A = this chain, B = another copy of it.
Amino acid sequence: MNLANKIPVGVLGATGSVGQKFIQLLEEHPYFELIEIAASDRSAGKQYKDAVNWILSTPIPEKIAQLQVKQCDSAFSARILFSGLDASVAGEIESTLAGRGHIIVSNSKNHRWDADVPLLIPEVNHGHLALLKHQNYGKGAIITNPNCSTIGLAVALKPLHDAFGLEQVNVVTMQALSGAGYPGVSSLDIIDNVVPFIGGEEEKLETEPKKIFGKYANGIIELADFKISAQTNRVAVLDGHLETVQVTLREKASPEAIIEAWKNFRSLPQELDLPLAPLQPVHYFTEERYPQPRLHRNLDKGMATSVGRLRRCNLFDYKFVILSHNTVRGAAGGSILGAELLAGTGNIM
């Protein structure tokens, strides 16, 4: 692609925790130039630095700090609008803006199950971009990110599904606090504690992989037919979702063959050498105490999925542990990689 002219982009929901992560990751991006930010009416009209309660450990990029926050239904100049909007408002705003010709790359759940909207993980189902030509947004489009707890799981399962076929997937999560947004979880609820419930999360984990791993044909995604059960828990971790996984495969597989499948897994984002693509999407650890959220969540720009402890299981074929950074790979970083994929495959004109 011609990088002489960067693609102008904007962020919707710019003051929230995902919005902040977008702004951090878009700083000095080789493809994209962040020119517009929008948030709720409460923030609109203010300079960004005055509107936001910045919770990241790197400073607000200087140029963005001075930007005036727009309303979400404003006219935008940006070609791509990244959305970290709350689900209570995202659905309609995103449709409207796509209708006005913007490409919407969204973290919200509202459009994930629209028949013509890709539920995109670039390494896993880039073929689903074929849906875009069936959308009715003119020059605009909508693509969506899966839920943060689904993404790392799907990346780790992809090489197994390709090589051996998934039959059953059982997952129990220990999820980070940043997944609940800011202020999100009260400190009184989580210090010296675990909360064994996250509203709506188990449903997402039990359904989204079926669309992600579905087959595209004639404008339609046929859902994959493996079975999934999920149990989700909130733990006192700032970033990084850890998940214990059990799988039964359709074909026999040795542990060595599974580990090879993970290590050798590369996909279109790696072939296109996209800026945020991890060099190696799945990193397998041989140390039995790994992966751990604090040590490995930032691996490969926070975009790698870490896996460890593969071993045979008494009830399924195998069990193992995965870790994925929920606000990078599982939200803002995943969306940006999706937009990079659009750019790299000539889907942005």
Residues of A that sit less than 8 Å from B by CB: 17, 55-58, 168, 170, 172, 174, 177-178, 182-197, 206, 227-229, 231, 233, 235-238, 242, 244, 246, 288-298, 308-309, 313-316, 319, 321
Q: A187-B189, A187-B191, A197-B288 are in contact. Are A294 and B233 (CB under 8 A)?
A: no
A295 and B189 CA atoms in complex are apart in Å by 9
Instruction: Check if A194 sits within 8 Å of B235, measured CB to CB.
Output: yes
Given contacts A229-B316, A235-B174, A315-B229, contact A293 B193 (CB under 8 A): yes
Number of copies: 4
> What is the CA–CA distance of A174 and B233 in the complex, to the nearest angstrom?
10
A58: chain B residues within 8 A (beta carbon): 298
Nearest opposing residue in chain B for A227, CB measure: B314
Given the known interface contacts A174-B174, A235-B194, A309-B196, the answer about A315 and B187 at a Cβ–Cβ threshold of 8 Å is: no
Contacts of A190 in B (CB 8 A): 187, 191
| Interface pair A172/B244, CB less than 8 Å apart | yes
Specify which chain B residues have a CB less than 8 angstroms from the CB of A17 in the assembled complex. 188
- Assess whether A319 is in contact with B229, with CB atoms less than 8 Å apart: yes
Which residues of chain B come closer than 8 Å to A238, judged between CB atoms?
A: 188, 191-192
| 11 CB-based A-B contacts, threshold 8 Å | A17-B188, A57-B297, A58-B298, A172-B244, A174-B194, A191-B294, A193-B294, A196-B309, A229-B246, A231-B319, A233-B242
